[in-house]
Amino acid sequence: MTAATRPGPARRTGIPPRLLGLLGLAGFAVLIEILPRIGVLPARYFPTTTAIFGALVDYAGDGRFWTALGQTLRTWVIGLAIAVLAGVAVGVVIGAVPVLRALTASTIEFLRPIPSVALIPLVVVLVGSGMSGTLVLVVYASFWQVLVQVLHGVADVDPVARDTAQAYHLGFRYRVRYVVWPTALPYAVTGIRLATAVALILTITGELTIGTPGLGKLMDTAYNSGLEAVPSVYAIVVVTGLIGVLANNATRAAERYVLAWHPAVRAELPA
């Protein structure tokens, strides 16, 4: 997803891709430092990198920040776990039973495109604005990512393998385990990676708009605390970005581990 993972340009320059990625980031930081200073961006509303970093350092010594970080991670991980378990379970069952699949296809295609954000007013009234409110949004948004991928995966099962399993009278449990699952796994893993990002987005959105405690809410209080607190708003943006990068790296690493046997992953390994 990032330039750093593409081996192409690195081979030409001889610089390790990881270093190139860091260089790019450093360049971006320098740009953000300079632009407000020379007046291209209004410094009052667009603080310099050093000001943002200063706000980050202030946060590091502020208990409220760490509490909020913990709250955000908690909502995110719980929401993701529920969505992944439900998505995989429902996906395997629906995908393996053709009648169920035909029965639910139109409903899934109707429910899936509904933006989670559109459910906010409903969620506030029905569930309230505590963690459970944001959890509903997170689970709703990320569940479909997993479900649809798993459904595709299950549909992709090699007919020869399926027929063989049938010929040997393998039970549902064994068919799922030895035929369906190996085919669906790479799809499911992709779904989980997508869901990880979506769940983080919805966690912050929920905190920001309905006031569930967490980084998003901390950002909202900074936003409402006058112009002097503007760097603090950006500091939270930076933190959420870092969480996103770490999560993406973690899911990619997990992907490589889980799918070590898969040709697509084997080919990606550096020579």
Partner 1 sequence: MNRRFAAPIAALLLASLSLTACGDDEPSSSAPAGQNDQVKAGVIAIVDVAPIYLGKQQGIFAKHKIDLTLETAQGGSAIVPNVVSGQWQFGFSNVVSLLLAQSRNVPIKVVANGNNSTGDTKNDFGGIVVKDPAITSPKQLEGKKVATNALKNIVDTSVKDIVKKDGGDPSKVNFTELAFPDMSPQLEAGNVDAIFVVEPFLSQAKAKGWKIIGTYADVDPNLCVALYFTSKELIGKNPDLVKRFTDAMTESLTYADSHPDDVRAVLGTYTQITEAVRKGLTLPKFPSAINKDAVNKLADLSVTYGLMPSKPDVGALLP
Binding interface with partner 1 (CB under 8 A):
42, 44-45, 70, 73-74, 77-78, 80-82, 84-85, 124-125, 128-131, 177, 181-182, 185, 188, 209-211, 217, 220-229, 232, 254, 257-258, 260-261
State the minimum distance, in angstroms, from the CB of residue 269 to partner 1. Answer: 17
Closer CB to partner 1, residue 23 or residue 122?
122
Phi-psi region of 120 (alpha: psi -120 to 50; beta: other; left: phi over 0): alpha
State the minimum distance, in angstroms, from the CB of residue 211 to partner 1. Answer: 4
Closer CB to partner 1, residue 11 or residue 177?
177
3-state secondary structure (DSSP) of residue 129? coil
Element (H, E) at 125: helix 120-126
Closer CB to partner 1, residue 59 or residue 144?
59
Closer CB to partner 1, residue 78 or residue 155?
78
| Other CB atoms within 10 Å distance of the CB of residue 176 | 17
- Cα–Cα distance list, 31 to 28, 53, 68, 91, 240 (Å): 5, 14, 29, 46, 20
State the minimum distance, in angstroms, from the CB of residue 109 to partner 1. Answer: 27
The per-residue b/e assignment along 23-54, b for 16 or more CB within 10 angstroms, e otherwise, is eeeeeebeebbebbeeeebeeeebbbbebbbe
Closer CB to partner 1, residue 50 or residue 225?
225
State the minimum distance, in angstroms, from the CB of residue 133 to partner 1. Answer: 9
Closer CB to partner 1, residue 204 or residue 222?
222
State the minimum distance, in angstroms, from the CB of residue 76 to partner 1. Answer: 9
State the minimum distance, in angstroms, from the CB of residue 262 to partner 1. Answer: 10
CA 186/CA 259 separation, integer angstroms: 7
Burial of 116 (C-beta count, 10 Å sphere; 0-12/13-18/19+): buried
Structure tokens at 115: 């933006």
- Cα–Cα distance list, 74 to 62, 131, 196, 240 (Å): 19, 9, 13, 14
State the minimum distance, in angstroms, from the CB of residue 151 to partner 1. Answer: 17
Closer CB to partner 1, residue 116 or residue 183?
183
**Tokens 């409402």 -> residue:** 224
